[in-house]
Amino acid sequence: MPTVLSRRAFLANAGLAAMTLRGGLLQALAPASSVTVLAPCGKLQGTQSHGVNIFRGVPFAEPPLGPLRFRAPARMKSWPGTRDATQFSAAAMQAGEPGIKQSEDCLYLNIWAPQGKGPYPVYVWIHGGGFTGGYSFAPIFDGTELAQAGIILVTVAYRLGVFGFLDVEPLLGASYAGSANNGVRDLIEALTWVHENIAAFGGDPTRVTVGGQSAGAKLTDILLGVPSAQPLFNQAISESGGAERVAERAGSQAVARGFGETWSSHAESKAASLLTAPAAQLIDAQRHFIETWPQHFPLRAEIDGTFLPRRPVETISAGSSLHKRLLLGTNREESASFLGPHPAHDPGSADLGNLPAAQFNEVLQKYRAVYPQMTDEQMRIRAATAEEYWVPSTRVADAFVNGGGTAWMYRLDYAESIGPLRGYAHHSLELHLVWDRPSAQVENSAAEVELAREMDHAWIAFLRGAAPASAGLPEWPEYTRNARDTMVFDIESRVEKSPQNAELRLWDGLL
């Protein structure tokens, strides 16, 4: 069987290395000159190249170090003098990623802005990585082309793993209640910084799109259900997301106690040492804990009754996104990236994001009636994709339009034509298309170049406030619960009404 990245390894970098290599090197930048901007936060010196102003490593919150470990992000104080913004900051602490500098001091963002006065629409991008990995400065997320198209791109970091998604209240006391939401709070702090400062860079704070892919999309969908986040953006993009990566308070606290047991045995120390131990030691304990915990993705945002009052889809459906706009979708065979192209066994607990294996397998047994032409391998991939990405994304779309928002739904059917995942529209495949990084080495290179152009232009149209559209694509209708019109991206793209409707009914009452 061809070698495929394990699910953890794949999500640790969210497929970014593969997508970067696939898309080739970005255009060589001309020698950069210096540019200075005075914003409410302070004066920043960045670089200027190809008509784009670039500011790297801009702090949006106080470093979450020492007494601020496991605390909500603290508002960044303005700084005196001119701050250098020519280098990326460190990535958040995580397992793996050799060669990438990591630090707890990670709450920074990066800006690519047109050189004109604007005001320009703003795109705040959240990287993926399974809530435990990834970083904001992966080469594929270079914002030069977006800025040249009149869009300001802001890529943001957030605390990962136990630093951002562990409820340490059972271990450290009541003052740490809600700490499982610190990663989400980091994103809100970044959006707040954008709201207060982006005009100095030519941005329009009333036209902010928040978006992401994989874990970044899931966090985007969760933000749609966080009341305090709503004034900070007016539209969203969710690529392979869903709002199910949350846990009830009891579940979060059970995870905390489980991690506490791992910590005590791993570090041979008391819970209080969580506040002073080296960050790398906590990441090592996190790795051991995740390997042994029975539920996949145990580190999640928490429904705490206040900050995240209930399941995000319930808040969204109740109208939290009234008058907002949403572009969202999934890839047809996302889970081929994790199960492999020829999975020999039914997915188990280590493969599922939302359901226990027993419940999932009950649904899987019904797939034969819906898809009699599929092999067992294809059904396993299709059902696991539905459980993790497609059904949760559909629930978000339904809730969004119920709550008064306007949505456009897509599905990527264009399949990989090289490598072990040949024939599958796998997880992260859309990235090199949406970011217009087509490959010249695939069998359908001309078709892929054209599809990348179409998807890139459709996304840019949406970012500018119009309906997603591009020359070469059919008209993309708005999504409604009755018709569920979906743009299917392929060599010949098309619109389908209620695609996979019989399959969707299999999940009623479960997701």
Helix H or strand E encompassing 109: strand 108-114
CB 144 within 8 A of CB 47: no
Q: Model confidence over 108-143: pLDDT tens digits? A: 999 999 999 999 999 999 999 999 999 999 999 999
CA distances 31 to 28, 49, 149, 153, 274, Å, are 9, 7, 21, 21, 45
Over pLDDT 70: what percentage of the chain?
A: 93
Q: Residue 315 corresponds to which tokens in the numbers above?
A: 């808040």
Reduced 3-state DSSP string for 51-92:
CEEEEEEEECECCCCHHHCCCCCCECCCCCCEEECCCCCCEC
Determine the pLDDT at residue 96. Answer: 84
Q: Of 50 and 28, which is predicted with more confidence?
A: 50
401-429 mean pLDDT: 97
Pairing assessment for the beta strands 33-39 and 42-49 based on DSSP bridges: antiparallel
Strand, coil or helix: 406 = strand
Domains with residue ranges and CATH for the chain: 1-320 (3.40.50.1820), 328-511 (3.40.50.1820)
Q: Residue 441: which pLDDT band, with cuts at 50, 70 and 90? A: confident
CB 43 within 8 A of CB 82: yes
Q: How far apart are CA 182 and CA 9, in angstroms?
A: 24
Q: Model confidence over 346-369: pLDDT tens digits? A: 999 999 999 999 999 999 999 999
Q: Residue 443: which pLDDT band, with cuts at 50, 70 and 90? A: confident
Q: Residue 12: which pLDDT band, with cuts at 50, 70 and 90? A: very low
Q: Residue 387 corresponds to which tokens in the numbers above?
A: 């459980």
390-402 mean pLDDT: 98
Q: Model confidence over 302-341: pLDDT tens digits? A: 999 999 999 999 999 999 989 999 999 999 999 999 999 9
Evaluate if residue 498 carries a pLDDT over 50. yes
Q: Model confidence over 180-222: pLDDT tens digits? A: 999 999 999 999 999 999 999 999 999 999 999 999 999 999 9
Who contacts 196 (Cβ-Cβ below 8 Å, separation ≥6)? 40, 41, 205
Q: Residue 21: which pLDDT band, with cuts at 50, 70 and 90? A: very low
Determine the pLDDT at residue 11. Answer: 44
Q: Residue 17: which pLDDT band, with cuts at 50, 70 and 90? A: very low
Q: Residue 30: which pLDDT band, with cuts at 50, 70 and 90? A: low
CB 293 within 8 A of CB 256: no
Q: What is the mean pLDDT of the chain?
A: 93
Q: Residue 398: which pLDDT band, with cuts at 50, 70 and 90? A: very high
Evaluate if residue 28 carries a pLDDT over 50. no
CB 241 within 8 A of CB 326: no
Determine the pLDDT at residue 360. Answer: 98
Least confident among 37-51, 312-326, 437-451: 437-451
Q: How far apart are CA 380 and CA 342, in angstroms?
A: 9
Determine the pLDDT at residue 260. Answer: 96
Beta bridge partners of 114: 52
- pTM for the full predicted model: 0.95
- The vertex-47 CA angle with 86 and 183, nearest 5°, equals 45
Q: Model confidence over 92-110: pLDDT tens digits? A: 999 988 889 999 999 999 9
Determine the pLDDT at residue 454. Answer: 98
Determine the pLDDT at residue 267. Answer: 63
Please give the sequence-ordered ranges of beta strands (E in DSSP) within 181-270, or none if there are none: 203-213, 235-239, 246-248
Q: How many residues does the chain have?
A: 511
Q: Of 10 and 175, which is predicted with more confidence?
A: 175
Q: Residue 204 corresponds to which tokens in the numbers above?
A: 């329009």
Determine the pLDDT at residue 250. Answer: 97
Determine the pLDDT at residue 338. Answer: 97
418-434 mean pLDDT: 96
Evaluate if residue 9 carries a pLDDT over 90. no
Least confident among 4-13, 197-206, 448-457: 4-13
Q: Of 443 and 313, which is predicted with more confidence?
A: 313
CB 477 within 8 A of CB 495: yes
Evaluate if residue 269 carries a pLDDT over 50. yes
